Amino acid sequence: MGRFGPSFLMTMITMTAFYVYGTSFQLNWFLNGIAVASSYVVIGLTHWFTGYYSDSLVSRWGRRRPFIIVGTPGIAISAFLLFVPNWFINTANPALELLLFAYCTIFLCLFKFFYAFVMTVHQAWLPEITDEDERPLVSGFLNTFNFAADSAGGIMGFMTPLLFIPGPPQQLSETGLNILLLFCVITLIFLLPSMLVIRAKPGIAPIERRLGEETRIAIGNHTFLGWTFVVGFLSFTLIAINQSLVGFLQQVMLLNTIGKLAPAALAMLVSTIIFFYIWLTGIRRLGKRRSLILGLVILFVSLPLTPFLRGIGTVIGYTLAAILFFVPIGTGMAIYYLMSYVVPADIAQVDEIVTGESRAGIYAGFIGVPLNMFQAASSLLLGGFMQLSVILSGSELMGLMWWGPVFAPFLLIAAFILRNIDIDPDFETLKQDHVEAGL
């Protein structure tokens, strides 16, 4: 339940902030990309350090809970302030563009910092409060709340540009402000059980090692290292999808009202939720690796269609064309959302079986470094691509049409790496081998 609020805000901000600052607040697209990229550097480093220090922290509240208590208010406050730069800056004044850039960068970075501060330890709890047999089910509950948040945050993300009122300067309407405030409050309320109730299994001792040593152990794990690159190249494309969808629907597919947007947005979100549970069943037959490769292929085949969908829409209707495009997109994204929780927890448990030590925090945390460096690079590329579109054609429309073919090839790199690592461990055999080796 605790994931709902932060995941809602993260989804909405990922889908909306880049587009809103580029259109409603008229921030230069490349500066916009730099601001977003900076926030990914911050979140990556925060994941890393938080993972380590939550493994080694000793307190009467445990080693994970203090981070959640401190970070939760920060998530809500920074998310709210991100969307109201007009309260402090005349966003209609081009001479203040660098000040607007600084404001955007600061509050994006603060939000990503507090999000990583809280969610790293929240995810690190998974192998500490569950056994391997329980983990897929608990992961299913986590993802149910996560998908509910992604659905609500996605719908809010699609609708947020429509909640701005004309300027100058443009700003959120009273309705938009109330909705944003509501979900900031929900974030605080839904994380109360994590602050007050959740307890890890007894007997888990804090790790007394240095950050460098723990990081070397994590990087030395062949499966974990391979998985970080799989996630990195995959996220390079996924973050471009999330940051481009709102503009793609509104400007390319001409779905610029709530009534027109809703069917296409719901098609992607519902297909993501439905296929999450289909994939959950499928991995029992195909395994995690083969299932994820299949999902990557579905995404790779679908994304290059973006330049042609407007033409297809003129024949069959823009809404239907968007729905037919977004269903396979949601299908491919669903398998990654499932694996993003299960695989790191499995890797941490394998390490615990082999070494006898729990370092789930460093595995959950360090992966955020390469993941977010890839996302930062993706944001820079997307921002530069959009600004190039403005320079060449006078608007961002060309960039919103052609981002799909530009970002699709990175999925094949992820699939190639995935073929060479094992993300389907046999826990019973590992335990038996470890016991026999101890004898």
Residues 6+ apart with CB under 8 A from 240: 378, 381, 382, 403, 406, 407
CATH architecture of 4-201+211-438: Up-down Bundle (1.20)
Q: Dump pLDDT digits (tens) for 256-281.
A: 887 888 888 788 778 877 887 788 78
Mean pLDDT of the residues in the chain: 83
Model confidence at 439, in pLDDT bands (50, 70, 90)? very low
The pLDDT of residue 387 is: 93
Model confidence at 312, in pLDDT bands (50, 70, 90)? very high
Residue 87 CB neighbour total at 10 angstroms: 9
Pairwise pLDDT comparison (342 vs 236), residue with the higher score:
236
Task: Tokens for 20, please give them.
Answer: 């809103």
CA–CA distances in Å: residue 309 to residues 252, 271, 396? 8, 19, 17
Closest CA to 132 of 435, 362, 426: 426
Closest CA to 289 of 351, 215, 372, 346: 346
Domain boundaries, the chain: 4-201+211-438
Checking if the pLDDT of 430 tops 50, the result is yes
